[in-house]
Amino acid sequence: MIKSRSKDAIWRALRPVIAASVGLLVGVAFTAMAGEQPWNVLRVILKGAFGSTYDLGLTLFYTTPIILTGLAVALPIKAGLFNIGAEGQLNMGALAVAAVGILCPQVPQPWNILLAGTAGFAAGAFWGSIPGWLKAYRGSHEVITTIMLNFIAAGLTGWAVLALLPSLDSQNPESARIAPSYLLQHFSWFGDAPVTWALPMAVAAAIVVWVLFRFTIPGFKLTATGLSPEAAQVSGISVRFQQWLALTLGGGLAGLVGVAEVMGNSGRFRIGFSPDYGFIGIPVALLARAHPLGLVFSALLFGALQKGTAELDLETTYVTRDLAAMIQAMVVLAVSAEGGLTLWRRHRLAAKSMQPTRVKD
């Protein structure tokens, strides 16, 4: 029995890996139709993602926000909610970080980082708390409200950046620069790639979320709410509060993307800086089955895809950016279909246990 349990655990960990690989291979196979050598395409992707320390650095740079948005989706999933609003939450978070960086240049070294990080978390959390409240106390479906709030956040941050924090030294749609004391140092061993302390922070956030669910009572309450709201309610857990809390915390985690982007990369709020990090977080969380640590690896996969497929445009003749997007889409599809793989295995096991038995007369 113990043996079968550990076998199950291995299978559970292996399953998403298989799914992602299949998706990648199928996606790459499509490039053959465009007249490319699939193996060459695969090589370019891998080389683009991991070929040099600089490439690896950029992959990690993409991975950082994806870990955070993945967590922003995964945490509410544990409580039975689906947060599609990470995109809006990260915009709000980035706006708050930029605002602090621009408006409070005098704050001394370690505290300013903490202040900006807190502001980013708080702004994201606030944005998440709105659908949280609507869900818990008014019964509005969180998928609808979080999607809607994405658009509101996009409009709001755009206006705020141009009207309240305008950039005086450029014509681009972006805010003024944040004070230099807020800029995070790049790690030296990735060349010019903007890998900063934001990456360890994102990983630490994943570990904190893992600890929360694995070892703590507040985490248990969230889990219980997700598994059976009715049973949780009867056992004295306030389901409404837990639902509100889950979306609020999720929003806060997405808000931390602002730290990575504004303080770790551009030094300002660039309108439309996010290549849909908030939405990439969804397959990332699903691929990891909302496991906070597994999520770090699935985020790395999507970060590598983001970086690797970007190279295809330049390195191959026929593969365009769109085809690159398709390869990513195949991975997402394969991950979604992964449930089917589980089903297939169960069927096979069932078939095995249903082997005809010899009937004596």
Partner 1 sequence: MRGVAKAFGACVANRDVTIRVERGTVHAVVGENGAGKSTCMKMLYGLYRPDCGEILIHGKARAWRSPRDAIAAGLGMVHQHFMLAGPYTGLDNIILGDEPSQGFWRWLPAAWRPIDRSQARRRLQELMAAYHLQVDLDVPVETLPVGVQQRLEILKLLYRGVDILILDEPTAVLTPQEVDEFFTNLCRLKDQGKTIIVITHKLGEVLRYADDVTVLRRGATVAERPVAGMTAPELAELMVGRVVHLQVAPPPSPKLGAEQLRLAKVTMGQRGEKPKLADLSLVVRSGEIVGIAGIEGNGQSDLLRLLLDPGRYLHRASLGQRITAKGEINVLGRDVSSFRAKALRALGLGVVPEDRCQQGLLLSQSLWTNFLLGVQRMPRFGRFGFIRRRQVTSALAAAIKAFDVRPADQQQIASGLSGGNQQKLIIAREFIGDPRLFICAQPTRGVDVGSIEFIHQRILDARAGGTAVLLISSALEEVMALADRILVFYDGKIVQEFRRGEADEAKIGHFMGGGSRGDD
Q: Which two tokens stand for residue 130?
A: 């709105």
Q: Are 120 and 95 in contact (CB under 8 A)?
A: no
3-state SS class at 166? strand
Contact indicator for 89, 127 with CB cutoff of 8 Å: yes
Residue number, 4 or 185, with CB nearest to partner 1: 4
Beta bridge partners, 270, equal 174
Enumerate residues 124-143 that contact partner 1 by CB under 8 A: 137-139
Handedness of CA 58, 64, 67, 68 (dihedral sign): negative
Contact status: 221 vs partner 1 (CB under 8 A): yes
Q: How many residues bind partner 1 (CB under 8 A)?
A: 31
Residue 40 or 233: which CB sits closer to partner 1? 233
Cα distance between residue 132 and residue 248, in whole Å: 6
* 230 forms part of the interface with partner 1 (CB under 8 A): yes
Identify residues 314-353 at the interface with partner 1 (CB under 8 A).
353
Q: Does 354 bind partner 1 (CB under 8 A)?
A: yes
Q: Among residue numbers 255 through 314, which ones bind partner 1 (CB under 8 A)? A: none
* HSE-CB of 356 using CA atoms within 13 angstroms: 3
Q: How far is the CB of 75 from partner 1 (least distance, A)?
A: 16
Q: Does 144 bind partner 1 (CB under 8 A)?
A: no
Which of 77, 213, 53, 68 minimizes the C-alpha distance to 143? 77
Question: How far apart are alpha carbons 210 and 318 in whole angstroms?
Answer: 43
| Window of 152-160, 171-179, 228-236, 328-336 that interacts with partner 1 by CB under 8 A | 228-236
Rounded CA separation 241/225 (Å): 10
Q: Which is nearer to partner 1, 5 or 185 (CB)?
A: 5
Helix, strand or coil, per DSSP, at residue 174: strand
Told to check if 208 binds partner 1 by CB under 8 A, we report: no
Q: Least distance to partner 1 from the beta carbon of 203, Å?
A: 21
Contact 146, 129 (CB under 8 A): no
List CB contacts of 46: < 8 A, sequence separation 6 or more: 308
Among 227, 293, 329, 337, binds partner 1 (CB under 8 A): 227
Does 11 bind partner 1 (CB under 8 A)? Our answer is: no
Q: How far lies 313's CA from each of 48, 59, 228, 320, in Å?
A: 11, 17, 48, 5
| Cα separation values, 125 from 85, 151, 279, Å | 11, 17, 17
Query: Which stretch, 49-57, 74-82, 231-239, 266-274, contacts partner 1 (CB under 8 A)?
Result: 231-239
For residue 114, state whether it binds partner 1 (rule: CB under 8 A).
no
Minimum Å gap between C-beta 4 and partner 1 is 7
Task: State the Rg of the chain over Cα.
Answer: 22
State which of residues 14, 18, 231, 325 lies at the interface with partner 1 (CB under 8 A): 231
Residue carrying structure tokens 């818990």: 136
Taking CB under 8 A as the binding criterion, the range among 68-76, 121-129, 223-231, 278-286 that sits at the site for partner 1 is: 223-231
Closest distance between partner 1 and the C-beta of residue 137, in Å? 7
* Residue of 160, 232, 280, 286 interacting with partner 1 (CB under 8 A): 232
Scanning 52-60, 224-232, 256-264, 313-321 for contacts with partner 1 by CB under 8 A, the matching segment is 224-232
Write the burial class of residue 229 (CB in 10 Å: 0-12 exposed, 13-18 middle, 19+ buried).
middle
Q: Does 6 bind partner 1 (CB under 8 A)?
A: no
Residue of 108, 110, 180, 356 interacting with partner 1 (CB under 8 A): 356
Query: Which chain residues interact with partner 1 by CB under 8 A?
Result: 1, 4, 137-139, 215-218, 220-221, 224, 227-228, 230-238, 241, 353-354, 356-357, 359-361
